Amino acid sequence: MIRLEGIAKHYGTVAAVAGVDLEIAAGEIFCLLGPSGCGKTSLLRCIGGFERPDVGRIWLDGIDVTAMPAWDRPVNTVFQNYALFPHLDVAANVGFGLETLPMDKRARAKRIDEMLDLVRLGGFAARKPAELSGGQRQRVAIARALARLPKVLLLDEPLSALDAKLREETRLELVELQARLGIAFVFVTHDQDEAMAISDRIGVMESGRIMQIAAPSELYERPATRFVAEFVGRINLFAGPGGRGFTAVRPERMVLGHGPHLGRVRECAYLGERRLVFLDSALGRVIVSQPGQAPVPDNGVEIAFGWPPEVERYLPQ
C-alpha cells in the first residue's frame, strides 16, 4: 500500500529523516514512535505531500507520488491542533474539502451526514467548534479528513491535547473506526502507551532513522537496541557478559525478597494496579514492579532481589 524507498529530508544541515525504507500494508494501523525531534512528523509530512523528500521515492498503491502535490494524493491528515475553522459550523468544517470534488449539493450533504454518523456526531452539524469538547473537535477533524474517502489516513499526535481518560476512550474509538473502514492509518506519537494500545506495528525512530519495526509485543519483549528498550516501557540495564553490551530485564520480571543481589529501598511508588519499588544496588538503580496490593517494604531497608535467567535479554548496544 505505502512504500518508502531511501527517504531523506534535510532542513539546512539537519537531517530530519535519514534514509528510511518502510512498507505499510493496506488496512494496517502503523505507528511512528519516538521522542521530539526524531523525524517522525517530517516523515509523515513527506507521505502526506506537505514536504518533498530530498532523496528517495514514495509509492502509494503502486503509484509513484513523490512529486505529486498533497491535494492530489489519496491521503488525508488529522493535525495535532485539529485546524478547524472557528467561524464555520461542524457541517461546513467536515464538508470543506468536498467543495473541489465533482459533487452536487445533495451528494455533499449526504456525505457530511455519513461522516458525522461515522464518528458519532450526528445531530452536531449546526454547532461551532467552540461549542464542542476537545474529544468532539477531534472527531470533527477525523470526519473532515475521511470525507474525501482517502486510502490512507495520517494522524499527527491527534490525542495529545486530550486529558488521560478521554485520550484512552478516543484511541479505542479510533481502533473501532479503522476496523470499520479498513483503510491504512499512519499514526505519529511520542506516547509509548498510546502506540502500544493502538498499533498493529510500530516503527521506533531516533535521529531520523527507524531503529526497529515490530508488533507491540515484539518491541516490548525483544527490543533490538538499548534505545528501543529504554523508550518502550521501563527497563533494568545491567553490564553484559564480559562488560560488553547490556543485560536487560523488565521490572515486572524481577523478583523481590529472593535472589543473589542486595539493594536498599529508595522509594515505593503506588500506581493503582501496580507498585514500583526503586532500589539502589551494586548493579546500579533497579526498578521492580509488583502488584499494587503486594507488601510494601520500608524505605532504607536492605532487601534481596534477582530474576530468572530466561527473562533477561542481551543488547549489543
Q: Residue 302 has what pLDDT? A: 96
The count of C-alpha atoms lying within 13 angstroms of the C-alpha of 184, restricted to the half-sphere facing its C-beta, is: 21
* Residue 16 region by backbone torsions, left for phi larger than 0, else alpha for psi between -120 and 50, else beta: alpha
> Where residue 170 falls among pLDDT bands split at 50, 70, 90?
confident
CB-CB contact of 112 with 124 (8 Å):
no
> Where residue 1 falls among pLDDT bands split at 50, 70, 90?
confident
Check whether 161 has a pLDDT greater than 80: no
pLDDT digits (tens, 9 = 90+) for 249-291: 999 999 999 999 999 999 999 988 899 999 999 999 999 999 9
Q: Residue 160 has what pLDDT? A: 78
Q: Residue 158 has what pLDDT? A: 81
Q: Residue 242 has what pLDDT? A: 81
Q: Is the dihedral of CA 219, 221, 227, 230 positive or negative?
A: positive
Average pLDDT rounded to a whole number, residues 194-216: 95
Rounded distance, CA 187 to CA 203, Å? 10
Q: Residue 163 has what pLDDT? A: 78
Q: Is 2-226 assigned to CATH 3.40.50.300?
A: yes
Return mean pLDDT, the chain.
92
> Where residue 227 falls among pLDDT bands split at 50, 70, 90?
very high
Q: Is 234-315 assigned to CATH 2.40.50.140?
A: yes
Check whether 25 has a pLDDT greater than 80: yes
DSSP assignment of 285-316:
EEEEEEETTS--PPTT-EEEEE--GGG-EEE-
Average pLDDT rounded to a whole number, residues 149-175: 84
Q: Which residue spans of the chain are classified as CATH 2.40.50.140?
A: 234-315
The predicted model scores a pTM of 0.90
Average pLDDT rounded to a whole number, residues 17-22: 95
Q: Which residue spans of the chain are classified as CATH 3.40.50.300?
A: 2-226
CA 127 from centroid of its chain's CA atoms: 30
pLDDT digits (tens, 9 = 90+) for 50-68: 999 999 999 999 999 999 9
C-alpha cell at 40: 517522525
pLDDT digits (tens, 9 = 90+) for 101-121: 888 889 999 999 999 998 889
Q: Residue 176 has what pLDDT? A: 87
Cα–Cα separations (whole angstroms), residue 300 to 15, 39, 184, 274: 47, 43, 51, 21
Check whether 213 has a pLDDT greater than 80: yes
Q: Residue 31 has what pLDDT? A: 96
